[in-house]
C-alpha cells in the first residue's frame, strides 16, 4: 500500500461521503434506545461521528454528549443535530476516546462505543485506556456497551480481497459516488490497514477522487473480557448481534455490555 494514512485526521474530507453510507444505518438503534430506557441518561457516545445515534437518542428525550476527535465530523454533527431540533439535549465535545474524562455532562448512565469505534485505537494500551476512561465517567449504576466486528478467520479472510467496490450512491445534484476499499490484515499485530477511495462522477464526466486511510486493531472476545476486568468493570456479557443473540463462532458482531458495579 502507498501512504495509507495521508492525514492526521483521516475523516477530515469525509463527513458528507461518510453519511452517504452510514447516516441511514439503523440496525443497532433499537439496542441503544432500549439500553437507555433501562439504564437511564445522561449518555456519552465515544466516536460519535456525524451524529447518527445522537439525533434519535435525543429525540427519544435523552440527554447525550457526543465526543469525537475529528472537527469536520463534529461540525457536520452540529448541523444534523440542529436541523433535527434536538440541540438542547445534545452536547458535542472534541476529544479522543481516551479523553472521555473531559467530556461534559457526566457522570453518565450509559457509555456507547458503537460500530467498530474502539478498533480505531491502534494499540491494546490505547484501547484499555479508553475503557478505563469510560468507566471513570460512569455513575455507580452505569453501563458500557461496545460493538465491534467478530474477528473470526472467515471475517478476516473476507477483508483481504484486493481492491473492492463497496457501494454506489447518487447525490441530490445527480452526481454519482463510488466507494472502493483495500484492506490488509496483519494477525501478528491484530491490525487492519485500510485504504478508501471515493470517486465522484459529475454530469460532465469529470471524476474527483477523495482518498484516505487508517489503521484499526481488532480484538478477540477473551481479550476484550480481560481488558474489561483490568479496567474494573463487572458482570460483562457477550452477544453475537443487536438482538442480543448468543455469541457464536460465526457471529458477525461482537457486542459487549459491562457494568460498573455488580448487581
pTM for the model stands at 0.92
Whether residue 50 is predicted with pLDDT greater than 70 in this model: the reply is yes
Average pLDDT over residues 5-29: 83
Compare 99 and 13 and report the one with higher pLDDT: 99
Task: Give the dihedral sign, CA 64/67/71/77.
Answer: negative
Please tell me if the domain spanning 15-151+219-259 has the same topology as the one spanning 153-217.
no
Whether residue 7 is predicted with pLDDT greater than 70 in this model: the reply is no
Whether residue 51 is predicted with pLDDT greater than 60 in this model: the reply is yes
For the segment 52-101, what is each residue's pLDDT rounded down to a tens digit?
999 999 999 999 999 999 999 999 999 999 999 999 999 999 999 999 99
Question: According to CATH, what is the number of the domain 153-217?
Answer: 2.20.25.110
Average pLDDT over residues 239-249: 96
Q: What is residue 90's three-state secondary structure?
A: strand
Average pLDDT over residues 6-24: 83
Whether residue 254 is predicted with pLDDT greater than 50 in this model: the reply is yes
For the segment 181-207, what is each residue's pLDDT rounded down to a tens digit?
999 999 999 999 999 999 999 988 899
> For residue 146, which of 40, 39, 67, 242 has the smallest C-alpha distance?
242
How large a percentage of the chain has pLDDT more than 70? 97
Query: What is the pLDDT, as a whole number, of residue 3?
Result: 39
Query: What is the pLDDT, as a whole number, of residue 229?
Result: 96
Whether residue 14 is predicted with pLDDT greater than 90 in this model: the reply is no
Query: What is the pLDDT, as a whole number, of residue 6?
Result: 43
Mean pLDDT of the chain: 93
Query: What is the pLDDT, as a whole number, of residue 8?
Result: 78
Q: Where are the domains of the chain?
A: 15-151+219-259, 153-217
The CATH H-level (homologous superfamily) assignment of domain 15-151+219-259 is Vaccinia Virus protein VP39 (3.40.50.150)
Whether residue 2 is predicted with pLDDT greater than 60 in this model: the reply is no
Angle at 23 between CA 151 and CA 79, to 5 degrees: 130
Q: Taking the CB of residue 33, how many other CB atoms lie within 10 A of it?
A: 16
Amino acid at each position: 500500500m502507498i501512504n495509507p494514512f495521508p492525514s492526521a485526521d483521516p475523516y477530515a474530507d469525509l463527513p458528507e461521503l461518510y453519511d452517504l453510507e452510514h447516516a441511514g444505518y439503523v440496525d443497532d438503534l433499537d439496542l441503544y434506545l432500549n439500553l437507555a430506557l433501562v439504564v437511564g441518561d445522561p449518555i456519552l457516545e465515544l466516536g460519535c461521528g456525524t451524529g447518527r445515534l445522537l439525533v434519535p437518542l435525543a429525540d427519544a428525550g435523552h440527554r447525550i454528549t457526543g465526543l469525537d476527535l475529528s472537527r469536520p465530523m463534529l461540525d457536520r454533527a452540529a448541523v444534523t443535530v440542529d436541523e433535527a431540533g434536538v440541540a438542547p439535549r445534545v452536547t458535542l465535545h472534541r476529544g479522543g476516546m481516551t479523553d472521555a474524562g473531559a467530556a461534559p455532562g457526566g457522570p453518565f448512565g450509559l457509555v456507547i462505543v458503537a460500530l467498530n469505534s474502539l478498533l480505531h485505537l491502534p494499540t491494546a494500551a490505547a484501547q484499555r485506556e479508553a475503557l478505563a476512561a469510560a468507566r471513570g465517567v460512569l455513575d455507580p449504576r452505569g453501563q458500557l456497551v461496545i460493538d465491534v466486528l467478530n474477528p473470526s478467520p472467515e471475517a478476516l479472510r473476507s477483508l483481504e480481497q484486493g481492491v473492492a467496490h463497496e457501494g454506489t450512491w447518487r447525490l441530490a445534484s445527480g452526481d454519482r459516488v463510488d466507494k472502493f476499499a483495500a484492506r490488509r490484515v496483519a494477525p501478528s499485530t491484530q491490525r487492519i490497514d485500510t485504504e478508501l477511495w471515493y470517486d465522484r462522477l459529475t454530469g460532465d464526466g469529470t471524476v474527483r477522487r477523495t482518498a484516505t486511510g487508517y489503521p484499526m486493531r481488532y480484538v478477540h472476545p477473551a481479550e476484550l473480557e480481560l481488558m474489561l476486568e483490568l479496567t474494573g468493570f463487572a458482570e460483562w456479557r457477550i452477544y453475537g448481534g443487536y438482538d442480543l443473540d448468543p455469541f457464536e463462532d460465526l457471529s458477525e458482531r461482537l457486542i459487549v455490555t459491562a457494568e460498573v458495579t455488580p448487581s
